[in-house]
Amino acid sequence: MLIDVHSHFYTEESGRPDWLRLNERRLAVASRIGITAQVASILGTWGRRSPTYFPSPDDVRHANHAMAALCRAHPRAVYGYCVVNPNDTDGALGEIERAGAEGMIGLKLAASRRADDRLVDSVVEAATRRGWPILHHVWQHRRREWPGQEASDARELACLADRHPDGHFILAHLGGGGDWSHSLRVMRSVENVWVDLSGSGVDIDMVHAALDEVGPARLVWGTDLTIDTAVARLRYLDALGLSDHDRDGIQWRNAWDLFVGMAHHVGH
């Protein structure tokens, strides 16, 4: 089995004329490389009608609705994260209820509000009550504000995780840009945060450091926007000669244990 915990799709409102080809290509490549299930999100309208990381209420609803439709079209192969903008707190809580009823199995927090801001608490509590893990977009060692997002880094995610010891968090795309060594040092001791290896970065030492600092029990595999880099990491992990237990944990079992909704859909 192979579970991708960080995937994305597009809609006709995503501002990309090739949106359908991109979706079909992702599904085809996933099938080709043996991805059993992918947990995906759509970030609003990807900047077309409202900013990618600050989606409007309409765009949040549009994205989650489209994501739910993709899940229905590809049962047991595609699962959905509910995307919210915590600044619209009532809307976010309502969206979690609605998306839950539509079968979503996780919450995606991107960069609408800093992770350590208490405004995020009620949203996290709602997701945790449903048993959803929370995939949190992270800038690995944010040294300054970056335009277009209110990005969080590992320290800020750790604050959130500390305030919600019953919550299960996933630090997004360790290879997605920034100083991954900073994130790994933070995550050594934050036991309710798993680390998603996805991203375009394929530093060899990042893979070794992730295994050493966080350990295979808290690593999960994902693709994000670049599938070839994710497959490369998978092959390298295979080449390292990990035990079957550790390799399976990273490839699927850790994710399977995190996403309780997945088992519910499969019927176990």
Partner 1 sequence: MSVTDVAAFLGAYPFRPGVEGSPDALLRHMDRLGIERAWVGSLPSILHQDPAPANRVLVASARPHRDRLLPVPTVNPEQAAWQDDVNHALDEAVPAVRMYPGYQGIADAGPEMRVAVVAAAAAGLPVVLTVRLEDSRQRHPLDTAAGPSAAGVRTLVRLDDQVRLLVSHADRAFVEEVHFGLTPAEAGRVLWDIAWVRGPPDDHFAHLVRAIGSERLVLGTGLPLRLGETAFVRLELSDLSEREQARILERNLDDWLRGSGTP
Q: Which residues bind partner 1 (CB under 8 A)?
A: 22-23, 25-26, 29, 32-33, 139-140, 143, 177-180, 200-205, 207-209, 225-229, 231-233, 235-236, 239
Report, in Å, the least distance between residue 208 CB and partner 1.
6
Length of the chain: 268
Q: Rounded to 10 degrees, what is the CA torsion of 207, 213, 218, 222?
A: -20
What is the token pair recorded at 135?
Answer: 């995939």
Q: Which residues of 39-67 are buried (b: 16+ CB within 10 A; e: fewer)?
A: bbbbbbbbbeebbbbbbbbebbbbbbebb
Report the residue number, 55 or 199, with the smaller CB distance to partner 1.
199
Cβ atoms of 161 and 180 closer than 8 Å:
no
Report the residue number, 161 or 197, with the smaller CB distance to partner 1.
197
Report, in Å, the least distance between residue 167 CB and partner 1.
27
H helices present in 34-133, as ranges? 57-73, 89-101, 121-129
Report the residue number, 21 or 129, with the smaller CB distance to partner 1.
21
Report, in Å, the least distance between residue 164 CB and partner 1.
28
Report, in Å, the least distance between residue 251 CB and partner 1.
15
Report, in Å, the least distance between residue 202 CB and partner 1.
4
Report the residue number, 107 or 207, with the smaller CB distance to partner 1.
207
Report, in Å, the least distance between residue 210 CB and partner 1.
11
Cβ atoms of 157 and 113 closer than 8 Å:
no
Report the residue number, 32 or 264, with the smaller CB distance to partner 1.
32
Per-residue DSSP letters for 130-142?
A: TT--EEE-B-BT-
Beta bridge partners of 3: 37
Report the residue number, 22 or 242, with the smaller CB distance to partner 1.
22
**Three-class SS state of 261:** helix
